[in-house]
Structure formats: C-alpha cells, structure tokens
Amino acid sequence: MSDLRNWVNSLPIFTRYWLLCTVGLSLFGRFGLISPHILILLYDNFIHKFEIWRAITSLFYYPLNPGTGFHFLINCFFLYRYSSKLEREEFDGRPADYLFMLIFNWLCSVIISLIVNVPLLMDPMVISVLYVWCQLNQDVIVSFLFGAQFKAMYLPWVLCGFNLIISGGGMLELIGILVGNLYFFLKFKYPQEFDGPELLNTPAILESYFPPQRTNIRGFSASVPRPGAPPASAGRNYFGGYNWGQGNVLGQ
C-alpha cells in the first residue's frame, strides 16, 4: 500500500485526480454503491431535466463487467501514460494551460456526445489527449501490441482501426481524434502555420489558481514560436524541443 500511495503521489496533479476519480467512480458503480443510470450522459435528462452533473460523471464513470474490464484497463493505461507525459513534458510548469486543454476537450466531447448520443466520455477524452501528444511528438517511434512499430502520429488511427476490427467500434475513437485535432489546430497550427490569432488563450482565472511553476525551461512563453516566427526546424516539436527517444511496448 505504501508503494501504491507513493506511485499515486508521484503522478502529476491533474492526471492523478483524473485517474483516481475514474477508478473510484467506476468501482462505485460496479459494486452498486451508486446507480450507473444517473452517471451516464443522456440527452433528455441533461437538456430537459437539467441534470448537469452527468457531463462530469460520464467522464469518470465506465461500466465494469467481464466484457469491458480489459478495455477499461487499457484506457487507464493510456490515460496514465499520455496524460502524464503531456503534463510533465510539453506542459511542464504550466498547469493552467494543461487544465484549460482538458476543459476544452471535455466541453467539445460533451457537445459531440450529446449530438451523436454517446453516454460515456472516457474513450473520447483519453484519445483526445493521446492525439495531442502524438501530434506534438509525430516522429517518435512507438510500438503497439505484437511489436509493430510506427510513428506516433499514426497511433490514434491504429487504435481506431484496431477497435473497429476487434469490437466493431471506432466511433468513440473518431470523436476523440476530432476533439484532439480541433484543440491542436486552434492552439498550435492556426497561430503558427497560418499566422492567425491565438484563439485558445488560457483564462486568467485558471492561472491565478494554478500559476506557472517554472519559466524559460519548457514553458510556452519560452518555447512556443510567436505567430509569424520561422517554423521549427526538422526534428523539433511545436514547443521548440527535440523529439528524443523511442516509445515503449504497450504494457511496459
């Protein structure tokens, strides 16, 4: 228990609470401590009955049964791995920026899920975060299952195709890809490659609660090119750093 507590405490703050809330609320639903029906996102209940908590609980709750347990564990692994990577690396020292990304992706996931009648947000949110990491580390080589290796930029599409083949799904992954691509385009590509204005500035209220912890190390202010600045050189990511290292095999 001490080792588990130390591992949990070592996680970045937002990844830590996202993972803990997901595991906790899913276990509550699994053991009948709370009705799963009041946790999922239902259009009529959310819009007409104003049960707004469903937008939050549908993010953290995932039904646990023999048919979904493995998929839940895979989602938790991706949540832990890629959310912590973004929070520790690309968003290092800028907790408010990372929180704003999560809020933006969550709001987009809620809107799209209400339109297409998707009751659970775990898959789209995890894939959206994974997609952002993959776009910021496009040339990093990652491995998937049986040792297949490819560039990180293809990983979300591989996951979508894999789920389509195995379970006939793919819709949830497509929503996550759409949300992640929307954030990545508005935050990075539009200002940097199209010389457009920055449309996703972090609200000052978030920075007042989560002020920058470090500056001129990996923070946006020091490493993200200004609109109109020369594009990053080959091998560099959107934050001005190099794409070092290799990915790891799933499960390691």
Q: What is the 3-state secondary structure (H, E, C) of 119-168?
A: CCCHHHHHHHHHHHHHHHCCCCEEEECCCEEEEHHHHHHHHHHHHHHHHC
Provide CATH code, domain 2-223.
Answer: 1.20.1540.10
Question: What per-residue confidence (pLDDT) applies to 214?
Answer: 59
* pTM higher than 0.85: no
Question: What per-residue confidence (pLDDT) applies to 170?
Answer: 83
The number of residues making up the chain comes to 252
* Per-domain residue ranges of the chain: 2-223
Contact 175, 159 (CB under 8 A): no
Question: What per-residue confidence (pLDDT) applies to 245?
Answer: 45
> Please, which pLDDT band fits residue 227 given cuts at 50, 70 and 90?
very low
Q: What percent of the chain is modeled with pLDDT above 90? A: 65
Question: What per-residue confidence (pLDDT) applies to 147?
Answer: 72
For residue 118, the one-letter residue type is V
CA distance 244 to 113: 36
Examine the pLDDT at 243 and tell me if it is beyond 70.
no
**Which of 64-73, 108-117, 186-195, 222-231 has the least mean pLDDT?**
222-231
Question: What per-residue confidence (pLDDT) applies to 192?
Answer: 85
